[in-house]
Structure 1
Amino acid sequence: MDMDTSVERPARSRLPLLILAILTSVVAAASLLALGNSQPPSDSSPEAGFARDMAVHHAQAVEMSFIMRDASPDEPLRVLTYDIIVTQTAQRGIFMGWLQQWGLNQSGERPAMAWMAGHGHGATASASATMPGMAGEEELKRLREATGEEQEILFLQLMTRHHEGGVQMSQALLKLSDRDEVASMAGHIVNAQAGEIKLMTDMLRQRGAQPLPSILK
Structure 2
Amino acid sequence: MTAILPGYFISFEGIDGAGKSTHIDAFRRMMQERYPAKEIVMTREPGGTPLGEQLRKLLLDSPMNIETEALLMFAARREHIAQVVEPALAAGKIVISDRFTDASFAYQGGGRGLILEKLNELERWVQTLPNGSLLQPDLTILFDLPGEVAEARRSKVRAPDKFEKMDLNFFEKVRQEYLRRAKNDPGRFHLVDATQTPEAIWDDLKLMQIGFK
Same structural fold, with TM-score higher than 0.5 when normalized by the shorter chain: no
Q: Quick check: which one's helix share is greater?
A: 1
Q: Quick check: which one's strand share is greater?
A: 2
TM-score range, shorter chain: 0.3 to 0.5
> Scaled by the length of structure 2, what TM-score is found?
0.34
Q: Larger relative CO (CA 8 A, sep 6+): 1 or 2?
A: 2
